[in-house]
Amino acid sequence: MGNSTGSTVDDLQAVEMHLWYKKFMTECPSGQLTLHEFKQFFGLRGLDPEADAYIEQMFRTFDMNKDGYIDFMEYVAALSLVMRGKMEHKLRWYFKLYDVDGNGCIDRHELLNIIKAIRAINGTENKDVTAEDFTNRVFDRIDINGDGELSLEEFVAGARTDEDFMEVMIKSLDLGHIVAMIHSRRRSL
């Protein structure tokens, strides 16, 4: 009797995985999502250059084997991390996403461009705090050694203690509209 809950959870996960697979294969019959298809898939077209660069960086981060495509397993891994992953894993992934040049640190310019892109994608421009001011405030709060770059350790520790910064990161990967799209497609398939 104790396994009945486990099998129900497994069944739910199998059903959800099947729905994700149907959605993926409906939108991408080749089984490999290109950058252009990625933008269409998630409704991210007609963005300003900063937002577009952020989406391209997100694509490269999801493309774990760096072959220029997101296959179904990479898609599932990304969705699973974003929707269900532990905070520590998410923060490490955000760091990788924000470290555009891949040098192991996030500088002010990288963070500023990400903040601007997130605001453009989400359609939210904070009139009280400019992207530049927000970036400076983040660095003032979490750049512990004052070197003008955020290490992975500073980034993770800072995100855990700075609610404003954490909120921005959460918004940067708000996939609520994608989950809603998958659920609406479930009814139509």
pTM, two decimals, is: 0.71
Whose structure tokens read 């996960």? 13
Which stretch, 78-87, 97-106, 170-179, has highest mean pLDDT?
A: 97-106
pLDDT in tens, 122-154: 666 666 789 899 999 999 999 999 999 999 999
pLDDT class for 189, splitting at 50, 70, 90? very low
Quote the radius of gyration of the chain (alpha carbons, Å). 18
DSSP string for residues in 70-87: EEHHHHHHHHHHHHH--H
d(C-alpha 167, C-alpha 46), whole Å? 25
Angle formed by the axes of helices 163-172 and 87-98, nearest 10° = 80
Give me the domains of the chain, ranges plus CATH numbers: 7-84 (1.10.238.10), 87-188 (1.10.238.10)
**Mean pLDDT score across all residues of the chain:** 79
